[in-house]
Amino acid sequence: MLLLAILAVSLAYQSGLNPPGGFWSRSTDHHSAADRILEDTHHRRFIAFFYLNAIAFVASIVMITLLLNKMASDKVTKRRALPITMIVVLLSLTGAFALGNCREANKTVFISVLVCSVLAYVLIHVLIAIHIIPPEWRRQVAEMLEHSVSHFCSVPCQFGHNHTGGDTSEKELGRRRNLLLTIAILAVTVTYQAGMNPPGGVWSDDQKATGTPGNPILQDTHPKRYDVFYYSNSVSFVSSVVVKILLVNKESCEYGIKSYALRVCLVAGLLGLLIAYVAGSCRNIKQSIYLSTIAMGVLVSLLIQVLLSSMHDTLGKPLAKCLGFLHDLLFHAEGEQVNTPVSPEASVDVRSEASVEVRPEASVVEEERVRKRHKYLMLLAILAASIAYQAGLNPPGGFWSDDKGHVSGNPVLRDINHRRFKIFFWFNSFAFMASIVVIILLLSKSIRKKAVPIGVLHLIMILDMLALMTAFAAGSCSKLRTSVYVYALVGCVVVILLLLIIVTSAIAKYWKPREGSGINSLRRPEPVSGANTSA
């Protein structure tokens, strides 16, 4: 509740101080400078947006205040006042989003219908999964998928996941709920801000501007591209808001997670983010085709993974050997650190198909270690996706606001320094696409069961961070020398960290035998063999 309230406060505060449509830059008879454009051009729409945004902001502040007081928090939690208030806040944000990111009534109605449609889909999905599909069929399908994944990867299933109650335990449901909530917060944050400040900017009251002040420039210069961006961004926002509404209630959260309905909504929201990024960050067909090809490659790779896991009888063993060889070749150091203790009675090869007896303590430690690494990778991917999405829709340098010698709404950096803009655009797009790939892979249950080596995901995130660094160097600097300084600074930081690691390792090796000798010197002398000593 506190996390959702903080999210709502940040979004409502930013959109309240910087409302959609911008501000007037000159004082005339009808308005003054710094007044809100949308208030004069679309008065009713702005009033509705203002009050809905204010309701979300004030209610979130009250929730945070109550949660900070333990006694008040216990009382409102027992009477379910907080979940009801949070649902009101999320619906208020949805209404403010529908009124602020467009100027047409049919698009506002579209978002309202979309909210009802997503809620109806989740309800139907849950009812079908619980009351219509027999439990025996669900159990058989789960066993077939688990057997397929484990046989295809030639590794045992992840420790701690059994057929009886591992996936339906309270602890496992809490972990899945936190995972879904984190991804939903990412999607809501970036899509809400992109809707309030659309790519290309809005028309100003400059005399050279040809459009209506406060309206999106991209809507007039590239109407089809703007429609694709608007509807994709809206689908991602609405699906994420619905997921958060359902996660607030414990019953709907449990049924939605078990039936995979919430996960389907989040995957649809992530695909909507991909399409919105392609439509909003490009201005020509070549760039759109390039990004669309990357997005289709992501979907095809996921489909191939599912098909290969289902055809384990024909392709499973050779492909598993190939994957094992590549994993040992690329991540040999990582594999040496993972030592799975095996009992003497069952000392068999780990890669064989025979069963391996694992000590419970080691299995719990291994499961917790893998889960933590998945969590860190998910947080890094969410961070990279959020900043890359915002930078792609609002690139450095801003947009042209008039039609004199250029096209309104096009990035200024693209016309002034085309090569630098291309470097920023390609590397930023790669970072965004790679982050979405990692998020979708970590949402898959087979990944948590080690269907893909975690070293591969580490490699993708390292390339992701390098791409973000390159995009930052190209977009934040205007000269080549300044861009080189960025890489030099990164190199200096890496060298300093390596030196610190070497020095601390040497100190640890130097003091370890001394500590051991000091401890041994303090021990009592062992009794002479044969002497009568008491127990």
The H or E element that residue 265 is part of is: helix 261-281
Q: Which residues make beta-bridge pairs with 399?
A: 411
Q: CB–CB of 417/478 below 8 Å?
A: yes
pLDDT given at position 127: 76
In this structure, what token pair is assigned to residue 41? 């051009």
Burial of 381: CB neighbours in 10 Å, binned 0-12, 13-18, 19+: buried
CB 25 within 8 A of CB 205: yes
Per the CB < 8 A criterion, the answer to whether 391 and 426 are in contact is: no
Neighbours of 502 (CB within 10 A): 10
C-alpha span between 35 and 27 (Å, rounded): 9
Radius of gyration of the chain (CA): 28
Give dist(CA 34, CA 27) in Å, integer.
Answer: 8
8-state DSSP, 349: -
Q: Of 305, 339, 303, whose CA–CA distance to 456 is shortest?
A: 305
Sole residue written with tokens 């609405």: 238
* pTM given for the model: 0.71
Please name the residues in contact with 357: beta carbons below 8 A apart, sequence gap of 6 or more.
342, 343, 345, 346
Q: Which of 423, 409, 443, 419 is nearest to 279 (CA)?
A: 409
Closest CA to 254 of 346, 148, 176, 353: 176
Report yes or no: 277 and 393 within 8 Å, Cβ to Cβ. Answer: yes
Cα distances from 433 to residues 235, 287, 333, in angstroms, run: 18, 14, 28
pLDDT of residue 44: 92
Amino acid identity at 249: N
Which strand (E) or helix (H) includes residue 242?
helix 223-248
Q: What is the mean pLDDT of each run of 10 residues along the chain (535 residues)?
A: 87 90 81 85 91 93 84 69 85 91 87 87 78 63 49 37 47 79 86 89 77 85 89 91 83 73 84 87 79 71 56 49 53 43 42 45 72 82 88 86 76 85 88 84 61 70 86 80 75 85 84 62 50 47
**Any idea what the Cα angle at residue 419 is, between residues 417 and 424, rounded to 5°?**
95
CB 202 within 8 A of CB 258: no
Reading the block at residue 80, the tokens are: 């379910």
CB-side neighbour CA atoms (13 Å) of 420: 20
DSSP class per residue in 506-530 = HHHHHHHHHHHHHHHHTSPPPPPTT
Residues 6 or more apart whose CB falls under 8 angstroms from that of 94 comprise: 111, 115, 237, 238, 241
What is the DSSP code (8-state) at residue 156? Answer: P
Residue pair 401/206 in contact (Cβ under 8 Å)? The answer is: yes
User: What pLDDT is recorded for position 52?
Assistant: 94
Q: What are phi and psi of 202, to 5 degrees?
A: -120, 160
In the block, tokens 């078990």 appear at: 258
Full DSSP string of 67-130 = HHSHHHHHHHHHTTHHHHHHHHHHHHHHHHHHHHS-S-HHHHHHHHHHHHHHHHHHHHHHHIII
